[in-house]
Chains A and B, each alone.
Chain A
């Protein structure tokens, strides 16, 4: 009789099994190994995309009921010094309601501390970009697809004369369901890549 491992339920052939049973057991083994690998880890890659000199990068259908929370990983440079904004999207259209608020602290390696914020606007702030070095950062996006308020926390690092970090977050203060997000600079265009992952529950 075929045995099964205790954790991932992988079948194995026992001494009492017939040689003729092996093809069936082999197929079941392969399928269960595939299932175990797919179910492991904490993040699932949803999309990965590079872009060059883009006025905006629209990502549609990246948020769904499959995951509650998401991680955005990016490396983006600008054609000019700019704030990098985001808007949530639904059905391939931006949400431009004036319900985004953003709050960031920026610290340089020279010890300067400044703030970047916006209240009740029609955009959220993700970070800053410039034409010196690419800004590399991550953002966690909480509950974008659920019909609740969406929160984003972000941290990024870049360099212009000094290294500096941009740390903070943004909040969309209306209970809404979104299936996408767009990134766009306050001026100029952007080049780089982004990756969006879903956090496994």
Chain B
């Protein structure tokens, strides 16, 4: 099961990710804030989470915190996609359990796609179905 959860509040970014992932045969679910994301997790367990940081209602850091607290969710790989480029934010996200961090404006979507592939094909932390 190649289920990916996207947590992103900007519609066209979310669309771009969804379209590309679906073209590569992934099963994609979309939520637009932290609260929705946790709700979704209670019902479906994704193999990978693509997580934005700045979102209304509850942000990406909240999601990371919740993931860390739950032993069931701790093992799900998380790739942070954010435009917050400061070293402090990157450090903070990684310390809170993010496995990777992309500054969106600095990487072509191709690289994100390749990284997703890596996680599903078993390099490092495995995206468990």
- Whether A and B are associated in the same complex: the answer reads no
Which chain A residues have a beta carbon within 8 Å of chain B's beta carbons? none
Which chain B residues have a beta carbon within 8 Å of chain A's beta carbons? none
